[in-house]
């Protein structure tokens, strides 16, 4: 059915209990500490793009394990002073592509860094350039179940760490204002946005659109769409309560709901009521938990009643531009 998830009033109240391990914070503190031991400065190379109004740098920074992660940094050719920065994470399967595809924030006077998602970037668009040098046990096609039997091995432990390190990287680049770094992204990029906001509480704003990677267990029970469906496929082959328990335990270290609770920065979400890829109840589970217990942290959510996973689409940029301007 079209609006297949809960009715909107129920969504607005939806605050499920989810499994959260006791050592969640230790797990992530350790992970980030280890990653930050690889503390090389980001490599920043100016690129000749033919563009006259926008400066483009090809950035390489050390991510999880010190692995090199690629990003494009764009900024206006005509600017004064240190620029506020928007760090953007990408949707599932895509890569940073070409710098010509990321000009909006620069046109609005911001610096913008778009980070590759390691190993991704051959599914759509113009390609990614960042390997994931870590192998895995048997996994269903895609990335969701790589390392699914151990949270230390899981693919998204590496990706979320890359996301944090991207913020670290922009804070080290000349001409950018380390006090004014916002994070954003759609779908998988929205999930990473939430994770980074939970792990780096002093980013100035978080703007996740139709975020993925939230409340996995509910997602799997109400939709068979990919990529949540990769988990279903894995569990449909690796049957049995032990495997199932371990899979959910692994994801309990990676759930956007838990990250959202730890956020301490204003949040602007969006969701779509016909979105079977990232069902609205999974988005609201994170949104309703945002900055748990901190009533003074602003949050807003835009609801698109007639959209599927494309959500607000092109309408999101001006909306976020205005909101971020007001927030900074």
Strand order in the sheet with 111-115: 43-46, 54-62, 68-76, 111-115, 83-89, 176-186, 205-209, 267-272, 299-304
Cα–Cα distance measured from residue 87 to residue 101, given in angstroms and rounded to the nearest whole number: 15
Q: Does 52 bind its own copies (CB under 8 A)?
A: yes
For the CB of residue 46, give the shortest distance to its own copies in the complex, in Å.
16
Under the binding rule (CB under 8 A), the answer on residue 78 touching its own copies is yes
92 labelled as ligand-binding? yes
> Closest approach of Cβ 298 to its own copies, in Å?
20
The H-or-E segment that residue 75 falls in is strand 68-76
List of residues 6+ apart from 147 with CB closer than 8 A: 134, 136, 137, 139, 153, 154, 155, 157, 250
Question: Known catalytic residues?
Answer: 187, 275, 309
69 binds its own copies (CB under 8 A): no
| Residue 9 engages its own copies in binding (rule: CB under 8 A) | no
Residue 327 contacts its own copies per CB under 8 A: no
Place of tokens 């301490």: 264
Task: Tell me if 195 sits within 8 A of 185, measured CB to CB.
Answer: no
141 binds its own copies (CB under 8 A): yes
Backbone angles phi, psi at 89, to 5 degrees: -110, 155
Q: Does 222 bind its own copies (CB under 8 A)?
A: yes
* 126 makes contact with its own copies (CB under 8 A): yes
Stretch of residues binding its own copies (CB under 8 A), selected from 44-52, 183-191, 207-215, 252-260 = 44-52
Site of tokens 């975020």 = 211
132 binds its own copies, rule: CB under 8 A = yes
Site for its own copies in 281-310 (CB under 8 A): 304-308, 310
Smallest gap from residue 104 Cβ to its own copies (A) = 6
For its own copies, the binding residues in 225-264 under the rule CB under 8 A are 229, 232-240, 244
Q: Which is nearer to its own copies, 117 or 265 (CB)?
A: 117
Which pair of tokens denotes residue 185? 């992204």
- Closest to 97 measured CA to CA, from 56, 62, 155: 56
- Site track 179-208 with its own copies (rule: CB under 8 A), x = hit: ------------------------------
The window from 81-89, 253-261, 280-288, 315-323 that contacts its own copies (CB under 8 A) reads 315-323
User: DSSP secondary-structure letter at 313?
Assistant: G
- To its own copies, the closest distance from the beta carbon of 263 in angstroms equals 25
- For CA atoms 67, 136, 228, 259, give the dihedral sign: negative
Residue pair 31/157 in contact by the 8 Å Cβ criterion: yes
> Which residues are part of a known binding site for substrate?
92
């Amino acid at each position: 059915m079209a609006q297949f998830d809960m009715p909107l009033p129920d969504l607005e109240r939806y605050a499920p209990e989810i499994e959260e391990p006791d050592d969640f914070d230790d797990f992530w503190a350790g992970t980030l500490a280890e990653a930050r031991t690889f503390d090389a400065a980001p490599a920043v190379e100016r690129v000749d793009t033919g563009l006259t109004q926008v400066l483009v740098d090809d950035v390489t920074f050390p991510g999880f394990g010190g692995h090199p992660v690629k990003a494009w940094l764009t900024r206006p050719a005509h600017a004064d002073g240190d620029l506020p920065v928007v760090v953007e994470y990408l949707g599932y399967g895509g890569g940073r592509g070409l710098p010509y595809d990321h000009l909006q924030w620069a046109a609005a006077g911001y610096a913008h860094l778009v980070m590759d998602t390691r190993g991704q970037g051959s599914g759509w668009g113009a390609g990614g350039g960042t390997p994931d040098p870590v192998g895995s046990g048997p996994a269903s096609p895609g990335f969701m179940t790589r390392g699914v039997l151990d949270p230390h091995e899981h693919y998204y432990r590496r990706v979320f760490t890359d996301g944090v390190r991207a913020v670290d990287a922009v804070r080290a680049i000349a001409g950018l204002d380390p006090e004014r770094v916002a994070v954003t992204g759609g779908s998988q990029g929205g999930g990473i946005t939430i994770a980074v906001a939970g792990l780096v509480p002093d980013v100035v704003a978080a703007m996740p659109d139709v975020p993925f990677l939230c409340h996995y267990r509910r997602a799997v029970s109400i939709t068979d769409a990919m990529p949540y469906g990769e988990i279903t496929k894995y569990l449909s082959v690796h049957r049995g309560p032990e495997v199932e328990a371990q899979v959910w335990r692994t994801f309990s270290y990676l759930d956007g709901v838990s990250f959202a609770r730890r956020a301490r920065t204003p949040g602007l979400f969006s969701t779509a009521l016909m979105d079977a890829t990232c069902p609205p109840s999974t988005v609201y589970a994170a949104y309703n938990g945002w900055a748990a217990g901190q009533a003074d942290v602003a949050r807003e959510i835009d609801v698109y009643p007639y959209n599927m996973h494309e959500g607000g689409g092109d309408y999101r940029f001006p909306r976020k531009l205005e909101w971020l301007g007001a927030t900074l």
